[in-house]
Amino acid sequence: MKVDRSVILGVSVGPLVHIALLFSVFLLFAGHNAPGGGFVGGLVAGAALILRFVDGGAKAVERTVAFAPQQVLGAGLLIALATGIAPWLSGGDFLESAKLSLDVPVIGTMKTTSALPFDIGVYLVVVGLMQFVLLTLGAEDEEDAG
Amino acid sequence: MILLLSLHAAVALGASFAGRRLGSRVLYLGAVAPLVTLVWLVTQASTVIDGGSPVERVDWLPEIGLGFDLRLDAFSLLMAGLVSGIGFGIFVYSRSYFGNRSDLGPFTALLVAFAGSMLGVVVADNLLLLYVFWELTSITSYLLIGFSHEKGASRAAALQAILVTGGGGLAMLGGFVLLGQAAGTYSLSGIVAAPPEAPYVAAAAALILVGAVTKSAQVPFHFWLPGAMAAPTPVSAFLHSATLVKAGVYLIARMAPVFVATVGWWRAAVVVIGGATMILGGYRALRQHDLKLLLAYGTVSQLGFLVLLVGSGVPKLTFAGIALLLAHGLFKATLFMVVGIIDHETGTRDLRRLDGLARQMPVVFGVAAIAAASMAGLPLLLGFLAKEAAYEALIEYGGAAATAVVVIGSAITFAYGARFLWGGFASKAAVASPADTPDGPPPVIRLPLPFVAPPIVLAVLTVVLGLAAPAATTLVRAAARSVDLRVTEPKLVLWHGFTVALGLSVVSVAGGLVLFRARAAVERAQAVTDRAPSAQNSYERSVVGLNRIADRVTGTLQNGSLPIYIGVILLTVLALPGSVLLTRASLPSDVTIAESPLQAGVAGAIVAASIATAVATRRFVAVLLLGAVGFGVAVLFVLQGAPDLALTQLLVETLVLVIFVLVLRHLPERFEKAEWRLGRGLRLAVALGIGAFMSSFALVAAGSRRAEPVSNELVERALPDGGGRNVVNVILTDFRAFDTMGEITVLVVAALGIASLVTASRRSTGAADGDAS
């Protein structure tokens, strides 16, 4: 399945990937109040990785993310677990949520909950999964061709 | 006591982490735990011997009667003293035994963990807690037996030990629960104070006896103990002579007063098991060439003796049993340490190859002689006092048969004790020893002090406690009294006068001498009787048989055919909930077919795509059609006003399609033809059945709602409690965050699974390519 690289694709993938990644982060943070969330955001980021894959194969995916998929997966699970354990340490129940509002000078008041770090964990796990799939299932292709 | 147990846990953890850095000094770190315990026991000794019993309680799971209840009475004190005293000696001794090995960190950790668990067993005052510690000793013992894990024999021996003791432990747990329910309390002291009477107490007795008998290597479960000799010798000296195997004896001693009162057959069973074990173990010991195995079978024999004494529930016998328990701990640990020294210095434990060591290691020989003499029951030593007390009590209460068994067993004990000394140290003309130089006697081997000090101390204790009979009496009587309040009068004395008991001692020594002189004949006889089926063989056969049955069951149920797996699952759905649906439920009367023409159109497209997927012959086409089904569902979500679900559905469908394509490259273009002629019809029937079931189930379920939908409450609470307006997201990350946690864990596991499957298959195809080229 070795296909010649399309020039149009090659040129348009770069900006598209960045936009998609940015959008995925937006979905992640907006998710608590509007459609979106960690899972959906992770999927969009995964789709961005697929764009990279279609253009440049597994190598390109590897270059896009600075960390190995194992690290991304592990970090995600750990962050989610930590959000679960944190309220435990301060006397609450496992995964009990807390609200937080910050007054940032220029931007204004930021409100968030402890669900956000948990959602970040979910996001990372989904991204790591897609990264893993593309790197392993996708990598065969190049070896077969070579 | 809780502090001491925590100290053991902390030291064990510390040792496993610091092991690499400390090298062999980690053993000294390990020695801290038993040393501190020993000091604490000494401070408690006077109170406890006077009948006091410090208690500590922490609730753990009060709902099931499990509490962290610890209690130190005199019997516990004696056992704990043995555990920590011998344990401390073992740590000092191990430094010289192992030299500079790199893996002493985990070793120390395990040994400390074992010492802590054993301490827990003897101070636990709650049956369930006792069980927890009991199993911890089994597990640490398993790991220590298999410590030389690169040897297959060690691993097999370790597995055998944990299967036997773990199986017994499970039986014991059942017994504990029965007993605890009958008594209404799981407190050991409470049950002993008021033995429960219920029809099933007999069953409890049988189950607990199984647990104790497996742990203490009684017939017919004795075989694991000689196998456990695969462990390093310090482990054998600590666990498999002095402490772990005494756990069963300890439990039987504690339980005897309860069950003798309520269960008719208890005493007979214990005496028969103990007597048979005593004779069989001793008999086997007489033919061993490996000094360590000789001691192992000797231990089996002595454990039988102990069980017979402490299990009978007769105060005087209990007293003698506890005296023997103490004596045995001291002399058997000494003998094992001696074997370790011999093995370390000469490189062999085979008594056919050892020669003239008495001259080369005079001190070690002296120590071994004292210990063996105590074991054989020669005067002035602690073993003699214990055996005299046992004889005296047996003559009074035991009956002729039990007395005869013990006399014969003691004669055999003397014989194998003599065989040990002769085999380990004597100059044998038959052996051409390389140590015998023409220049005269070989030089005395210099041994480092920490290597010989522990056995010397134990041997000295054997002598001192033997000579200071009144002191030993005080300790043992206090211990016996805490088991059974009726123990009052018996004493350990050096000289009873010319009594029947002394006569029996003389008879057993004489018999032992005869057996020892006739050792060649005894070995020939053993060669014949060895052909009888042994417990070891039946163990092996049952393990092999179990594996074969498991193989067959797995082969039938997990035959690797995906259509059959799915078929079985779906048919089960049709058979169970499906039949209920048919017989019990009725379809709701007012069904809205579609809310809008658009909805009907999308649904029609989904149905068409589904049918097309099922009849497609090319894989790629089938995947695309499946994707169409998914996108159709996403459109339905949009129509129903669920943007979040639709978004997720679309993305998932897209990504799944890509992953499918990545995988499809490796599969044939078309589906295989079904090889099974009935297949098509059957599959069609199952598919239609499931389709009908799911549709009608959805209708019935939606039509029979009675309670308020949960979602209403979730929607109301999303903003105030979850702090978000997106209800779906609040549910995922807050209300049902625990589920999400589980799901992302599954995702991680799946990712790792995919990666390892792909890597593994690539490696195997790569290897195949390599072969081809």
Chain segment B490-509, per-residue pLDDT in tens: 777 777 777 888 888 888 89
User: Which chain A residue's Cα is nearest to B722?
Assistant: A97
CB contact under 8 A, B729 and A36: yes
Of B728, B745, B751, the CB nearest to A132: B751
In Å, how far is B593's CA from the nearest CA of chain A?
A: 29
Nearest CA among B501, B534, B554, B301 for reference residue B389: B501
What residues of chain B, 603 to 662, have a C-beta less than 8 Å from chain A?
643-644, 647-648, 651-652, 654-655, 658-659, 662
Query: Is pLDDT of B771 > 50?
Result: no
Please list, in sequence order, all residues whose beta carbon lies within 8 angstroms of the beta carbon of residue A137, skipping any fewer than 6 positions away: B659, B662, B663, B754, B758
- For the stretch A28-31, contacts whose Cβ atoms lie closer than 8 Å and that sit 24 or more positions apart, written own/partner, are A28/A119, A28/A120, A28/A123, A29/A116, A31/A119, A31/B726, A31/B729
Among A137, A142, A143, the residue to mutate for chain B (most B Cβ within 10 A)? A137
Q: Bigger pLDDT: B765 or B349?
A: B349
Separation of CA B162 from chain center: 5
Q: Would you call A137 and B729 a contact, using CB atoms and an 8 Å cutoff?
A: no
Interface contact A32-B644, CB threshold 8 A: no
Q: Chain B: nearest CA to A79, how far in angstroms?
A: 11
pLDDT, position A146: 37
Contact B723 A81 (CB under 8 A): no
Whether B588 contacts chain A with CB within 8 A: no
With CB atoms and an 8 Å threshold, state whether A115 touches B722: yes
Give how far B459 is from chain A: nearest CA, Å. Answer: 53
Mean residue pLDDT across chain B = 87
Report the distance separating Cα B229 and Cα B294, nearest Å: 10
Q: What are the chain B neighbours of A43 within 8 Å (beta carbons)?
A: 648, 651-652, 655
- CB A43 to CB B652 under 8 A? yes
Only one residue has tokens 């073993």, namely: B383
Per the domain annotation, does A1 fall within a domain? no
Q: Rounded to 5 degrees, what angle do the CA atoms B465, B455, B146 make?
A: 125
Domain membership flag for residue A114 = yes
**How far does A105 lie from chain B, in Å, by closest CA?**
23
Distance CA B274, CA B308 (A): 5
Percentage of chain B lying above the pLDDT 90 cut: 41
Nearest residue of B to residue A75 by CA position? B748
| B457 pLDDT higher than 60 | yes
pLDDT beyond 50 at B773: no
Please check whether residue A79 touches B, CB under 8 A: no
Query: d(Cα A24, Cα A38) in Å, to the nearest integer?
Result: 9
* Predicted local confidence at residue B416, as pLDDT: 92
Measure the CA–CA gap between A54 and B665, rounded to whole angstroms. 15
- Please state the rounded mean pLDDT for residues B459-482: 90
Asked if residue A140 is part of any domain, the answer here is: yes
- From first to last of its 146 residues, what are the pLDDT tens digits of chain A? 445 667 888 888 889 999 999 999 998 888 877 878 888 899 999 999 998 888 888 888 888 888 888 899 999 999 988 888 887 777 667 767 676 666 666 666 666 677 888 889 999 999 999 998 888 887 755 544 43
Q: How far is the C-alpha of B426 from the C-alpha of B405, rounded, in Å?
A: 30
Interface test with chain B among A39, A51, A94, by most B beta carbons within 10 Å? A39
Distance in angstroms (rounded) separating the CA atoms of residues B182 and A103 = 65
What local confidence, expressed as pLDDT, does residue A106 receive?
65
End-to-end Cα distance, chain B: 69
Which residues lie below 8 Å from residue B262, measured CB to CB, with a gap of 6+? B195, B196, B197, B201, B202, B205
The percentage of residues in chain B with a pLDDT greater than 70, rounded to a whole number, is 96
Q: pLDDT-based confidence at B673, cuts 50/70/90? A: low
pLDDT tens digits along B155-171 = 989 999 999 999 999 99
Q: What is the Cα–Cα distance from A119 to A30, expressed in whole angstroms?
A: 11
A106-145 residues touching B, CB cutoff 8 A: 111-113, 115, 118-119, 121-122, 125-126, 128-130, 132-138, 140-141, 143
Cβ burial of B437 (10 Å; 0-12, 13-18, 19+) is exposed
Alpha carbons B214 and B209: distance in angstroms, whole number:
8
Stronger pLDDT, B645 or A112, i.e. the higher one: B645
Query: What pLDDT is attached to residue B567?
Result: 86
Question: Which among A44, A80, A138 has the least Cβ separation from residue B744?
Answer: A80
User: If you average pLDDT over residues B142-148, what whole number do you get?
Assistant: 90
Provide CB contacts within 8 A for B437, sequence distance 6+: none
A contacts of B750 (beta carbons < 8 Å): 129
Interface test with A, best of B658, B664, B719 (most A CBs within 10 A): B658
Mutate to test the interface with A, among B729, B735, B752, B764 (most CBs of A within 10 A): B729
- Name the minimum distance, in Å, from the CA of A18 to any CA of chain B: 17
- Average pLDDT on B708-735 reads 79
Report the distance separating Cα B245 and Cα B214, nearest Å. Answer: 9
User: Which pLDDT belongs to residue A13?
Assistant: 87
Q: Which residue of B has its CA nearest to A49?
A: B655
Q: Do A39 and B725 touch (CB under 8 A)?
A: no
Distance from CA of B631 to the nearest CA of A (A): 16
Closest CA–CA distance from residue A16 to any residue of chain B (Å): 16
Q: Is residue A2 part of a domain?
A: no
HSE at residue B231, side-chain half, CA atoms within 13 A, is: 31
> H or E element: which one contains B458?
helix B449-467
The residue range of the domain holding A14 is: 7-145
Cβ of A97 within 8 Å of Cβ of B723? The answer is yes
**Per-residue pLDDT tens digits for B565-575:** 888 899 999 99
The residue count of chain B comes to 773
Please report which helix (H) or strand (E) contains residue B70, including its range: strand B66-71
What whole-number distance in Å separates Cα of residue B381 and Cα of residue B327? 9
Which residues, in sequence order, are bridge partners of residue B440? B437
Write down the pLDDT at residue A109: 65
Report the residue from B643, B654, B663 with minimal CB separation from A35. Answer: B643
Taking contacts as CB-CB distances below 8 angstroms, the residues of chain B near A117 are none
Contact between chains at A129 and B755 (C-beta distance less than 8 A): no
- In a mutational test of the A interface, the residue from B658, B733, B740, B754 whose CB has the highest number of chain A CBs within 10 Å is B733
**pLDDT higher than threshold 50 for residue B290:** yes
> Which pLDDT score, from 0 to 100, does residue A144 have?
47
Per CB-CB distance under 8 Å, the chain B contacts of A32 are: 723-726, 729-730, 733
The count of domains in chain A is 1
- B67 DSSP β-pair partners: B59
Q: How far is A106 from chain B (nearest CA, A)?
A: 23
Judge whether residue B429 has pLDDT over 70.
Answer: no
Q: Where are the domains of chain B?
A: 2-517, 596-672, 722-773
Q: Which of B422, B321, B323 is nearest to B365 (CA)?
A: B422
Q: Are B319 and B216 in contact (CB under 8 A)?
A: no
Best mutation target among B653, B743, B744, B752 (most A Cβ atoms within 10 Å) is: B744
Phi-psi region of B399 (alpha: psi -120 to 50; beta: other; left: phi over 0): left
* A residues 38-77 closer than 8 Å to B (CB): 38-40, 43-44, 46-47, 50, 53, 69-70, 73-74, 76-77
* CB-CB neighbours of B546 under 10 Å: 11
Q: Are A119 and B723 inside 8 Å of each other by CB?
A: no
- Mean pLDDT score, B292-320: 92
pLDDT digit string, tens, across residues B41-91: 999 998 988 888 889 988 888 888 888 899 999 999 999 999 999 999 999
Distance CA B697, CA B586 (A): 10
Task: In whole angstroms, give the CA distance from residue B579 to residue B576.
Answer: 6
Is this structure's pTM higher than 0.80?
Answer: no
Neighbours of B547 (CB within 10 A): 10
Query: What is the pLDDT averaged over residues B416-424?
Result: 91
- Rounded CA separation B246/B244 (Å): 5
